Amino acid sequence: MTSFSFQNTTLKKLFFLRTEIDRLLTASIAFSCAMIVLRVLHTGSVIFLFMIWNLFLAYIPYALSNWLTASPLRMQRPFFRYAFFAVWLLFLPNTFYILTDLFHLHDSRHSLSPAWFDLALIFSCAWNGLLLGVLSMRQMEKIFHFPAAPIMALNALGIYVGRYLRYNSWDIVSNPFRLTADIVTMIIHPFQYRYAWNMIGCYTVLLIMIYLMMKKLSKALN
């Protein structure tokens, strides 16, 4: 009994098992990864293997906000405070980006994997990304007291830049000039890029509604 209690206490010290939410998230992400591995073993196709990487990228902003929430005194220095916020904001769109992986459902056509399995696989990944994004947003909102709307607009922009312009979070360091030039071009010529701005506007509203609804639901269920 003592040995079990020690092991249980030790496991809870791990950042991804510290709270009940952390443990549920870890279990849910593990389920998604297990489905991906099973699909690879069953079909011999690695077409959805990239989703494990997407889940890893989506976990980064949650890990950052979780770390900060556990020790808010780390934010005493203004430079570190704003630098940390910038890094978190840089990775945050990776959480909501996974919603667009639902586009890949058409890739399951004519495969050895049942359509229902692929739907559950992709939806579970998208769901985990959504949860990571909402929880991370909520944690940072409590610390920095920012309005949700502009952050969600930046997330929607990040989704478009990632999905259609094929940039990722690392490009802000490895390829900043080209990335900036493409975004500035979109801003200068909004009518030429009206398809992009229509998508960004739609996803901004969608993400705001999802975030506000999940906040209200969490209060209603308490």
CB 60 within 8 A of CB 170: no
Q: Is the pLDDT of residue 29 over 70?
A: yes
Q: Could you tell me the pTM of the whole model?
A: 0.87
**pLDDT of residue 111 exceeding 90:** no
- Burial of 135: CB neighbours in 10 Å, binned 0-12, 13-18, 19+: buried
Calculate Rg over the CA atoms of the chain. 19
> In terms of pLDDT, which residue wins out, 6 or 94?
94
d(C-alpha 108, C-alpha 42), whole Å: 13
Q: What number of CA atoms fall less than 13 Å from residue 172's CA on the CB side?
A: 11
Under 8 Å between Cβ of 63 and 15: yes
Length of the chain: 222
pLDDT category of residue 33 using cuts at 50, 70 and 90: very high
| CA–CA dist 28, 118 (Å, integer) | 16
Structure token pair of residue 182: 């493409």
What is the percentage of the chain residues whose pLDDT exceeds 90? 64
Compute the distance between CA of residue 66 and CA of residue 137 in angstroms, rounded to an integer. Answer: 10
148-174 pLDDT, tens digit each: 999 999 999 999 999 999 888 888 878
Distance between CA 99 and CA 122 in Å, rounded? Answer: 9
Q: If you count DSSP H runs as helices and E runs as strands, how many of each does the chain have, helices first? A: 10, 0
Q: What is the mean pLDDT of residues 137-154?
A: 93
Segment 74-90, tens digit of pLDDT: 677 777 888 899 999 99
Spatial separation of the C-alpha atoms in residues 25 and 91, rounded to whole Å? 18
pLDDT reported for residue 154: 95
Spatial contact of 43 and 30, defined as CB atoms under 8 Å apart: no
User: What is the Cα–Cα distance from 145 to 111, expressed in whole angstroms?
Assistant: 47
